[in-house]
Structure 1
């Protein structure tokens, strides 16, 4: 910037938000540089070089308070050589310097300030890698460094993974401008490595980060919200939807000065509701399908009932092995056993299971019997207790866990008879 442009840039509210802007312009109110800086420091110096001609301007809040006047200071050329990192300013470029930072460490902190600063730097890194991830990647990518460490783009849609489901893109035209909407379904944890699953959960996890991601000129404004169109749900947590806005629609989306809040206009809300129905349904199918049995079973120990908007799970008392066991009981024992099965079904720990599947799905283990040898031992024990016969041996092929047997049950029991073991 030259001198006049720099002075204008340092003026709070230097832009009329109603003015027409370049389509790639990220600013609107002309407040970002100043308000962001004053939220962290009391002295802001900006040095800009154009064709190696350097110009500087600074705001010093202590000086403003002392003079009781909002006076922008313009350092003389000889003062520039003493500024921090001035030697790194290129022929054409701009250097922003914060001094007297009073918000990084508050007055309550008395020790371990290095640890607190390190945590804040880590938070800053994650924030920048998400908000500007589309600038940090691609053909015309830019580079951002923190303490000589280059930032890596954090793509919340995990588009690089083949298991990410990129659904049908939609375009909504508002006032002659296009709003692009691209839904994604992130991979289920069974499709990715443990590291990638944790990494792409993002800060706060999958549940918090589901929903819409609103971008203006590729800069992320809002993330992880359904705009109150639907509540956050465990079943929708794999759904993330990218919305690309042109800067000409800022006023319709009610984008605030901090660019941290937006609200879609009514015409777009109605379309988003329909898109959500498709996306949420697809996300639910992905989430639920991974909980299905690894081997299909026609003879299940549990039954699912759905009626009048309610879903219940009960023990299948008609299961052949349960039925065989019941036949060995007297009338009183049959009644008591039936009551026990009802109690087991009624007090199934669904809340705990739901929480575990949501928070730590990889750690939930449903099956302990895994080898053919263990299955053979279990099958022999059940046969010896007359819970099935050789005539209905075929039920083992339809019933978990015995349906996972990699060999042939008929051949196995034939060998047991030949060896005289049964």
Structure 2
């Protein structure tokens, strides 16, 4: 690891949690240069829903490169962009009776969030965006302004303006209705909160600690948006592309956001790719008003198009939900078996986690898990949640092995708590 210590910036983080050099990956497994095998409960922070090196996607990429296919094209028309748009409409939008224009804002999640915020302000003529406690939306200035984490926000180095944070579902406990509070702020002209251009939220907060919004809460947020003519932006960068079961995490609630942000696994193969979905009547961009050099990533078009084969039927979503129920049952059993860790099971589908009531215990568990051959990261404002986010293609054997390692790590980590 010496070359990384000597040459790479101190800003690096994941390599500190997983201190080895990886060289091979397949499905839900990785191997390092020493030949050690690891089960992946991290999945590229949600960018590898279809696993590492899916053979079907890999072959499509190899064929395209061998044919001297266009790789970089800005926003020019290419055959692979055309194929992606057609397949996305046929496989994803039409079966769900959704009507969206597709914008290519750049290669990352923060690019799609920035485009959504900018468009909402352009359409409404308003400046304020309402976001929610514990939310995470990206690391560029606009996205940071609607992100809750104080450590991340501090890194901006400048004031983060024109955003107001409201309490997420259950942030204030079961006895306080956070949306009634939001409504009062909007109703009362003395609240100090101006009418916003948009409300942005994650239905499951990934980096915020696997906090899950109820379907009823989401419906009420949509109702509030319609009542006050506020645009509703759903950030599905991590929770989308099947991570919670259905392709869009908001599907069970029945809401229809005005704008949807997708990245991470929409790239199919871990390739940088993002799209912003916009209701047609809101597509008021002037040509070139928002652009980016790498918004025409044709390798990502190829991979993303091939990945849509997983969604030709509802079997993939059903399997993810089944596996999620298996994980949830296991995590709830852990909360009963190890009360000294003060555990709470959280999440939906294969976006789950264990919240630890004992400080620093989640970090210790993930450290021990890595030593035992499991890659898992923490989330939450204090790093109190150990995440269980394997590739969606993981089989039951892999799940069982990974969950067993997780439990063994909890047993080891809680020995000091018992003492």
What's the TM-score bracket when you normalise by the shorter of the two chains? Answer: under 0.3
- What's the TM-score, normalizing by structure 2? 0.22
- What's the TM-score, normalizing by structure 1? 0.22
Greater Rg over alpha carbons, structure: 1
Relative contact order, CA 8 A, sep 6+: which one is greater?
2
